Amino acid sequence: KAGVTQTPRYLIKTRGQQVTLSCSPISGHRSVSWYQQTPGQGLQFLFEYFSETQRNKGNFPGRFSGRQFSNSRSEMNVSTLELGDSALYLCASSLVGRLEDEQFFGPGTRLTVL
Amino acid sequence: GDSVTQMEGPVTLSEEAFLTINCTYTATGYPSLFWYVQYPGEGLQLLLKATKADDKGSNKGFEATYRKETTSFHLEKGSVQVSDSAVYFCALKVSGGYQKVTFGIGTKLQVIP
């Protein structure tokens, strides 16, 4: 069974631009979560989607948004990019997002903001 | 709020040495506890987990015991290998938080031959 895939793997943008990252969960998984990983802050939870609805959200500004499609694929968008948004963005999927459901992580998208 | 504390490292060990990475937590509810591993250039993989007090999670020679009284979940391995070189994250998840996982800062382990 194919794992979680994320596209693109690498991205370079300039300040003020916007970016869209994509995540395809494992087949049959309906919960998708996003995390930001930086050397200073570590891994921080961005948001979780289930059945096209945002179910939980971390402490990030409104410039960070996401959505989920009917096939469970998810996108996250960052508008008005800042230098501090440079990070590895990880997507994770699980069956339905219950406490006992294991999360499977993708390889991440490395975003560099210049 | 929920938080996880672990040493950042790096931790450098010789092959076959004993490994301990300390992890302590604070949680608003009764958490499930996890250790994840991230190899260079890859995403996170679940290494082991424990869902209630005194449970021991184990995998690939790694072990961790859920200690509620000390709010700890220390990772141990009796004999590390070069292939264990990676970043290790302690993490927790609480009921009602769905898939929101709170991670520690990560501990980089380097094993030298």
State residue B97's pLDDT score: 60
Q: What mean pLDDT do residues A5-22 have? A: 97
Q: How far apart are the C-alpha atoms of B37 and A31, rounded to whole Å?
A: 21
State residue B95's pLDDT score: 73
Question: pLDDT category, B8, cuts 50, 70, 90?
Answer: confident
Among the partner-chain residues A56, A102, A107, the one whose CB lies closest to the CB of B43 is A107
Q: Which residues contact B14 (CB under 8 A, 6 or more apart)?
A: B111, B112, B113
Q: How far apart are the C-alpha atoms of B94 and B63, rounded to whole Å?
A: 21
State residue B100's pLDDT score: 82
The per-residue pLDDT for range B74-109, each reduced to its tens digit, is 999 999 999 999 999 999 998 766 678 899 999 999
Among B98, B105, B107, the strongest candidate for a mutation testing the A interface, having the largest count of A CBs within 10 A, is: B98
Contacts of B88 in chain A (CB under 8 A): none
A33 vs B99: CB contact, 8 Å cut-off?
A: yes
Question: pLDDT category, A99, cuts 50, 70, 90?
Answer: confident
Among the partner-chain residues B51, B93, B103, the one whose CB lies closest to the CB of A42 is B103
pLDDT at A24 > cutoff 90: yes
State residue A62's pLDDT score: 95
Contacts of A90 in chain B (CB under 8 A): 43-44
Q: How far apart are the C-alpha atoms of A89 and A63, rounded to whole Å?
A: 15
Question: pLDDT category, B42, cuts 50, 70, 90?
Answer: confident
pLDDT at A29 > cutoff 90: yes
Q: What mean pLDDT do residues A57-81 have? A: 96
Among B95, B99, B100, the strongest candidate for a mutation testing the A interface, having the largest count of A CBs within 10 A, is: B99
Query: Count of A–B CB contacts within 8 Å?
Result: 62
And the tokens for B21?
């990475």
The per-residue pLDDT for range A74-98, each reduced to its tens digit, is 999 999 999 999 999 999 999 987 7
State residue A101's pLDDT score: 83
For residue A70, the 8-state DSSP code is T
How is the beta sheet containing B75-77 ordered, strand by strand?
B19-21, B75-77, B62-65, B56-59
Q: Taking the CB of residue A27, how many other CB atoms lie within 10 A of it? A: 10
Q: How far apart are the C-alpha atoms of B97 and B29, rounded to whole Å?
A: 10
Q: Taking the CB of residue A44, how many other CB atoms lie within 10 A of it? A: 16
Q: What mean pLDDT do residues B49-57 have? A: 94
pLDDT at A28 > cutoff 80: yes
